Structure formats: structure tokens, C-alpha cells
Amino acid sequence: MTSLYALPAPLALSRGIPGPLSGDLATLGPDFEAACREDKIALATGTDEESDAAYDKVSNLVDRILASPARNLAGLQVKARALLWCRSGSLDLGIEDSGTTDVKLIESIIYDLYEMIGVT
């Protein structure tokens, strides 16, 4: 069994470089951003049917983002944006304050990703 500490850090992550989007996230990321803009417009000015259709489009993209592996920091940033949409823009993750280090680390990683995409 290989020790976690023996694994080299990926070059892009060790240098803080997001790297290009790859795989399905290369198209899902931009599609998601465009659908979010459409959803915001439909919510503000559209009919209930238009708003529901725009919401369903974003929701479908979020499901596809969830199923797509992130291969680098840019992919994780797409997933962080999708999480933010799921939380209706709320930065509160709803994670109980268990006080355990693993939960604190998960929360810290997500907040770091939020900061990287410009949400604070």
C-alpha cells in the first residue's frame, strides 16, 4: 500500500495554477455559466414556465457536473460554482460544527475554492 505522503503533489496544484478545463467539464463549465445567466434573467423577467425551464436547464447541468471528475483546479472551481448555485448563493454550507478535523478541512477546502472563484 502506498503512503499518502509518498505521492507527489500535482504540478498545477503545487504551483497554484488552475490549468485548463479538461474532459466534460471543459464544455459543462461554460454551459453552466451561460445557463446561470439565463436563469437569472428568466427569474427576473420571464414567465413561470420560462423560469422553470431555465432552472431545469441549470439543474441538469449541475447533475452532469457532479458526475464528471475534476482533473485539476479549474475543474474543482466549476464544481464550487455548481455548489454555490445549489446553495442559492449562500456561503453557509450547512455543515454541523462537529469540531472534527476532517469536517473542518472539507469546509476549508470549499471556502478556499469559493475564494478562488471570486466569492467571499
pLDDT of 66 reads: 93
According to the 3-state scheme, what is the secondary structure of 83-99? Answer: HHHHCCCCCCCCCCCCC
Q: What cell numbers appear for 31 in the block?
A: 454551459
How far apart (Å, rounded) are the C-alpha atoms in residues 111 and 105?
10
Show the domain range for 47: 20-116
Tell me if 48 is assigned to some domain. Answer: yes
Mean pLDDT, contiguous 10-residue spans, the chain (120 residues): 40 52 87 96 96 97 94 88 88 72 83 82
Q: Is 9 in contact with 49 (CB distance < 8 Å)? A: no
Tell me if 30 is assigned to some domain. Answer: yes
**Identity at 117, one-letter amino acid code:** I
What's this model's pTM, rounded to 2 decimal places?
0.74
Tell me if 108 is assigned to some domain. Answer: yes
